[in-house]
Structures are given as structure tokens and as C-alpha cells.
Amino acid sequence: MGMLPFDVFEQIINRESPADIVYEDDNYIAFRDIAPKANTHVLIVPKGPGLVTAKDAFEDNVNIFGGLFLVANKVADIENLEGYKLHMNVDEAGGQIVPRVHFHFLSSDYESPL
Ligand code: 5GP
């Protein structure tokens, strides 16, 4: 499956599509994946425009990427998880489907060979 032609996460940010929101602040939103791959599967998404894949990381916006880790820690607190897994698909060639940067925040039951 290739990259979707539209950004469904922007619709969630703008409240045009429903989502089970776990955390939100001015710069990020975190909501439950519609097709969870673990007991806890939350998507952590920056709200700002122009970040399609992690390949859009540059020195002038690297703080936005770093902030994803701070939100992951907040989600872990909210979900009462001592540890967790983070996964990011990067670009269509890396398996990314939704054209907006996002971390998959997963509880440790996530089946990963890593
Ligand atoms: P990607 O392959 O882009 O890293 O993963 C996209 C993720 O977004 C998938 O795990 C998929 O289940 C999830 N997803 C796709 N559309 C929606 C939606 O409309 N709402 C929610 N909550 N998750 C979605």
C-alpha cells in the first residue's frame, strides 16, 4: 500500500474526523490507532504543517522531532506504563501510509523481532 493522497491526521487535529485522544497540547496530539497492534497503540503526531516524513527533519525544526519523545513520556504516564516501544515508518519505501510524521507508541506486548 502506498502513501495516502490525503492527511487523515490533519482532519483529526482539526476535529473533522473523530479520534480517541489521549494527550494534546499546542504542538502535538496523541490518539489511539484505529487498528491497534498492541494493548496500547497510540499515534503521536506534531500539529504543525510541512512534516510529511522524518526525512523532513532539519536543524531548524529538530526540536519538533525531539518533542515527540517528551510526548511519549507523557503518554506512558497517562497509560501507566513503565516501559514502551516506539516505531516510526519513514517514507512510502519504509512502509509509511499516512503523510504526516508520527510515532507509533506501543506497549511491550507489541510483536517485534527487535
Ligand atoms: P503508518 O504506516 O503511516 O506509519 O501508520 C499509519 C497508522 O495510522 C496505521 O497504524 C493505521 O491503523 C492508523 N490510521 C489510519 N487511519 C486512521 C484514522 O482515521 N484514525 C486513527 N486513529 N488511526 C488511523
Q: What pLDDT band is residue 22 in, cutting at 50, 70 and 90?
A: very high
CATH of the domain at 102: 3.30.428.10
> Is 95 near ligand 1, meaning CB less than 6 Å away?
yes
Assess if residue 66 is contained within a domain.
yes
Assess if residue 3 is contained within a domain.
no
Assess if residue 65 is contained within a domain.
yes
Range of the domain at 83: 8-106
Q: Atom of ligand 1 at shortest distance to CA of 4? A: 3
* pTM given for the model: 0.98
Assess if residue 38 is contained within a domain.
yes
| Cross-strand partners of 105 | 42, 86
Q: What pLDDT band is residue 114 in, cutting at 50, 70 and 90?
A: confident
80 torsion bin: left (phi>0), alpha (psi -120 to 50), beta (else):
left
Question: What's the number of domains the chain is made of?
Answer: 1
> Could you tell me the distance, in angstroms and rounded to a whole number, from the CA of residue 101 to the centre of ligand 1?
11
Assess if residue 114 is contained within a domain.
no
